Amino acid sequence: MTINLKNKAEIIKKYGKNEQDTGNVDVQIAMLSQKISELTEHLKVNAKDFQAKRGLMMMVGRRKSMLNYIKKADLERYRALVKKLKLRG
């Protein structure tokens, strides 16, 4: 349930400023979103995996905190990121 190196490199290239820009908040949110979608698929098959469910809730909370940080800092960047990641309808 981890992001493989190819997907990770693609996410960093798409959302970061360069290929080593893993600390950028946009990149971190995109990585968490990828992990959340993979974990959601896992939980559709394994509904009783409570540790995975707990991990999912923790990731969603961490992503929400990061999104709130971007929203306070730069509203246009927040809106662009949400639209790009298709997080909200």
Alpha carbons 82 and 29: distance in angstroms, whole number:
10
Alpha carbons 20 and 54: distance in angstroms, whole number:
30
- pLDDT tens for the chain, 89 residues long, are 578 888 899 999 999 999 999 999 999 999 999 999 999 999 999 999 999 999 999 999 999 999 999 999 999 999 999 999 999 85
Secondary structure of residue 20 in the 3-state scheme = coil
